Structure 1
Amino acid sequence: MVKVAVVEGDGIGREVVPAARDILAAVRPDIEFFDVDLGYGLWERTGCACGEETVADLGSADAILFGAVTTPPDPGYRSVMLQIRHALDLYANVRPIRGDTVDVVIVRENTEGLYSGIEWTEPDRSCTVRVVSRRGSERIARYACTLAKSRRHHLTVGNKANVLKSDCLFVEVCTAVAAHLGVPCTARYIDALSLDLLMHPDRYDVIVTTNMFGDILSDAAAYLVGGLGMLPSANIGERAALFEPVHGSAPDIAGRNVANPIAAIRSGAMLLRHVGDPASAAAVEEAVVRVLRAGIRTRDIGGTAGTREFGTAVLREVGRGKA
């Protein structure tokens, strides 16, 4: 029995996650789902967006299917995602960028960097500490190298070592780990890398970088496959794993049945692969491709289908695949 915690969260998370959940249930009726409530909406009602008991519930699952959370510009509000990543030590953020002519995976260190959580405010300035440790760099480099060895056997290290001393350490560690594991490795400055990735995605296999750089680079790379509504992601730790669409809660379109559920559905496929079911994962991914080829698309990618309609179409294709 596989236990999956389901977090719809805020905004369009409450629309795209049900679509993904229904598809997971169709391919794996043995999955035991349980709901976990957290996010900005909960904070508005109770004053707490994510308590210790909630984190414990998430940690008890074999995997977490996560929607999106709103982070308001309120100094009293603690980022839910940062809290979960740190509490469950989800150190590897994995974002595949896949399309007809693109197949790149961006791996970012997920618990340090500018998202270290070490911040304070003074009368005339606010400070955030960028943390890059040897331990954090080594383990994300190992993860990225292992992934590269299962793919096309090349690693690119995105960095700004020409300016930041912390990135000097990151590059040093990543290249050493790659050499030890026998993975060809190239270091590229993140600004030049961002442009070259968009112009020549075929040059890249696995890219590893620090937290903020990876966040920005993967969002920009969404351009290659149709936008943020297309990108799934995984947050991986030694004992826990969380799967979520790259996009945010998009409150401006929430409740209108226009959000693209592909990223959430593909995140569900990543979840299936993580729990040891690559066949079901492939079935879900292939169903999405067949629906797109049939011309069924949401508005952000040039179609007219709503969130529910697209999810139903994928669910139907999954059923045909099982027949």
Structure 2
Amino acid sequence: MPHPCRHSRPGWMWLWAAWAAGWRPAHSRGLELDEHCGSECRFLSLQSENAKSEGTFQVTMLPGDGVGPELMHAVKEVFKAASVPVVFDEHHLSEVQNMASEEKLDEVVDSMKESKVAIIGKIHTPMEYKGELASYDMRLRRKLDLFANVVHVKSLPGYKTRHNNLDLVIIREQTEGEYSSLEHESAKGVIECLKIITRAKSQRIAKFAFDYATKKGRSKVTAVHKANIMKLGDGLFLQCCEEVAELYPKIKFDTMIIDNCCMQLVQNPYQFDVLVMPNLYGNIIDNLAAGLVGGAGVVPGESYSAEYAVFEMGARHPFAQAVGRNIANPTAMLLSASNMLRHLNLEFHSNLISDAVKKVIKVGKVRTRDLGGYCTTSDFVKSVIDNLHPHYGA
């Protein structure tokens, strides 16, 4: 049975997000908490607010599109078997299933205001333009100010790829950049897309990255950019990263152009530790890096604001072609759910689930098709459940 105190102290991510967003304790550097602190200081009481009187936690759940509902079912089954003290407040938000509206979005936000924590599947964005540029996925991020997306790309013991023993973290600013929904037709046949880079948000994500590296004992942060071409926009992002880096002399800092970064990740990913980058680059690198360790089905992810934490798959993909076929790999979602439990200070249950998932992968007898096996989603979930409470002496 895993020891409940095996890992380091949980709950740091909220602290980092709040600090990066501008929060400071009253005694820090002589600063005073004022009326501007507002919700950014509320993380101090989030644990007590979320906990119900009977000792359970409420978590907002959005199954999303594609195989999302099937993966959430897997999470529920494993949580039930592990007696996890979590109650899900489930909502459905989908543009492709005609289950998206301002009313439904507001319901999700209201649920998040109560729970502070969510687990979500991919909310698929149709390519067709229907009069609204911002997808509901993007609008949800903005409403909750989920500025920091964190994807931990780590090799799974027992599953060999071209590069083994990888361990790197991608941190992405996801509230501005190219995904600002600012597009218009300036003349017939001419579309202008605006990329927004601000000093405030660039400094915030840079500080988040360096704080993450410090708290996790990592030694290097790499800022990924295209400042050689986008001299003002990416130039500002790079400048902010360089300024923040000076405040962390113990953390090595370097920079890399995005196209070279893609090549280096394929050729020699071991040179990277923590990477920080603007929105679009992060979206691309998340998926590229996930492919190095097994694909979208094995990499967990999470997004943070000063007040909220959302847990999801690291490489957001609906895997629509697998819907209803019972072949989706639940590894990424189960590991993300485990990370969520650690965030809630449910360390024992977090370790119980993550250890069981990793054991199934390591043994190698039960693998889904994306990992070269023939087993179903149900087979994998059953094997995880069987490994939650191993029979000692068997």
Smaller-chain TM-score bracket: over 0.9
- In the comparison of the two structures, how many residue pairs are matched? 322
Equivalent runs, 1:203-218 vs 2, <5 Å: 203-218=271-286
C-alpha change, 1:278 and 1:318, in structure 2 (3 Å) is same
**Alignment counterpart, residue 298 of structure 1, candidates 368, 371, 374:** 368
How big is each residue's C-alpha offset from its partner over 1:213-242, in whole Å with a ceiling of 9 and x where there is no partner? 011011011121111111111011111111
Look up the match of 2:87.
32
8 Å Cα contact 1:65/1:268 also seen in 2? yes
Name the structure 1 match of 2:228: 162
* 2:35 corresponding residue in structure 1: none
Give 1:316 shift.
2.0
Q: How does 1:111-122 map to 2 (within 5 A)?
A: 111-122=175-186
1:42/1:49 contact within 8 Å kept: no
CA distance in 1, matches of 2:94, 2:373: 30
Letter in 2 for 1:318: L
Is 1:320 the counterpart of 2:390? The answer is: yes
Aligned equivalent of 2:192, options 107, 112, 127: 127
Aligned counterparts of 1:321 and 1:238: Cα–Cα separation in 2: 42
Contact kept, 8 Å, 2:153 with 2:168, in 1: the verdict is yes
1:16 maps to 71
Amino acid across the alignment from 1:292: I
Summarize the alignment of residues 232-247 of structure 1 with structure 2, pairs less than 5 Å apart.
232-245=300-313, 246-247=315-316
Question: Does the CA-based 8 Å contact 1:19-1:312 persist in structure 2?
Answer: no
Higher helix share: 1
1:75 aligns with 129
Paired with 1:240 and 1:301, the residues of 2 have a C-alpha distance of 33
TM-score, normalising length from structure 1?
Answer: 0.93
Give 1:127's aligned amino acid: E
Give the alignment partner of residue 176 of structure 1, picking from 229, 243, 246. 243
Q: What's the counterpart of residue 6 of structure 1?
A: 61
Query: 2:334 maps to which residue?
Result: 265
State the AA in 2 paired with 1:84: L
Secondary structure of residue in 2 paired with 1:83: helix
Question: Letter of the aligned partner of 1:156 in structure 2?
Answer: T
SS of alignment partner, residue 227 of structure 1: coil
Query: Residues 322 and 40 (structure 1 numbering): CA distance in 2 closer, same or farther, change over 3 Å?
Result: farther
1:61 is matched with: 115
Deviation, structure 1 residue 289: 1.3
TM-score normalised by the chain length of structure 2: 0.77
CA drift at 1:299 = 0.2
Post-superposition offset of 1:46: 6.8
Q: Structure 1, residues 30-62: CA drift from partner, whole Å, max 9, x if none?
A: 21211111112552x576694323322233223
Q: Distance in 1 between matches of 2:257 and 2:348?
A: 38
RMSD: 2.1
Instruction: State how far apart, in whole Å, the 1-side matches of 2:378 and 2:213 are.
Output: 36
Q: Which has the larger Rg?
A: 2
| Structure 2 Cα separation of the partners of residues 64 and 116 of structure 1 | 23
1:242-293, Cα deviation, whole Å (9 max, x unpaired): 1111232122211110111111111112212222234433332221111012
Q: Decide which of 152, 160, 165 is 2:218's aligned counterpart.
A: 152
Gaps of 5+ in 1: none
Matches of 1:278 and 1:322 in 2, distance apart?
22
State percent identity of aligned pairs.
30
Structure 2 contact 96–126 (Cα < 8 Å) conserved: no
Residue 60 of structure 1 aligns to a residue in which SS?
helix
Separation in structure 2 between the aligned mates of residue 59 and residue 208 of structure 1, nearest angstrom: 28
Distance of 1:166 and 1:9 partners within structure 2:
33
Partner of residue 166 from structure 2, selected from 102, 105, 112: 102
CA distance in 2 between counterparts of 1:319 and 1:30 reads: 17
- In 1, the alpha carbon distance for the partners of 2:277 and 2:104 equals 28
Distance 1:316 1:11, change over 3 A: same
Letter in 2 for 1:158: V
The 10-residue stretch of structure 1 (292-301 or 56-65) with the greater mean CA deviation from structure 2: 56-65
